[in-house]
Chain A
Amino acid sequence: MGSAITTSGLGKTFITRTGPVEAVRDLTFEVGKNEVIGLLGPNGAGKTTTMRMLSTLEQPTAGTATIAGHDLRHDPRGVRQSIGLVAQSGGSRPTATVRDELLLQARLHRLSDPMAQAETMMKAFELTELAARPTMTLSGGQRRRLDLAIGLIHAPQVIFLDEPTAALDPPSRNELWGHIRALRARADVTVVLSTHHLDEADALCDRVLILDHGKLIAEDSPARLKQRLGNDVITIDAGLRDDQVATRTLASIADLPHVRDVRRTGNELRIGCENAEGLLTRVVLTLHDAGIDMHGLQVAHPSLDDVFLALTGHTTAQER
Chain B
Amino acid sequence: MSALHDTFIVFRSELALALRNKVALAIGLIQPFVYLLLFGPLLTQALPAAQNPWLFFVPGLLLQLGLFGTGFAGFNLIPDIRSGFVERLRVAPVSRLAILLGRLLKDSLILGLQAIPLIVVGYLLGMAANPLGVLASLILILITGVGLASLSYVLALGLPNEYLFAPAVNSLAIPLMLLSGILLPVDRGPVWLDWLAHLNPLRYILDATRALFTGALDTTAAIGIAVAVALAIVSVAIGSSLFRRRTA
Contact = CB atoms under 8 A, between A and B. Distances in A.
Contact of A80 (B17, B80, B91): B91
Contact of B87 (A87, A103, A109): A87
Interface residues of A, number: 28
Given A56-B248, A108-B6, A94 B79 contact: yes
Interface in A79-130: 80-81, 83, 85, 87, 89-96, 100, 103-105, 107-109
A95 B24 CA distance: 13
B85 A91 contact: yes
A56 B91 contact: yes
A96 B91 CA distance: 19
Contact of A57 (B13, B16, B79, B87): B87
Nearest to A82: B93
Contacts, number: 67
B16 to A, nearest CB: 7
Interface residues of B, number: 22
A172 interface: no
A221 interface: no
Given A56-B248, A104-B13, A150-B88, A80 B83 contact: no
Contacts of B91: 55-57, 80, 83, 85
Interface string B88-116: 11111110000000000000000000000
B247 interface: yes
A59 B21 contact: no
Contacts of A56: 90-91, 247-248
Contacts of A94: 79, 83
B28 to A, nearest CB: 16
Contacts of B83: 89-94
Interface of A: 55-59, 76-77, 80-81, 83, 85, 87, 89-96, 100, 103-105, 107-109, 150
13 contacts: A56-B247, A59-B248, A80-B91, A80-B92, A83-B91, A85-B88, A90-B84, A92-B84, A95-B21, A96-B17, A100-B13, A100-B16, A100-B17
Q: Which 9 residue pairs across A and B have the least CB separation, nearest first?
A: A91-B88, A91-B84, A80-B93, A104-B13, A81-B93, A107-B9, A108-B92, A89-B84, A85-B91
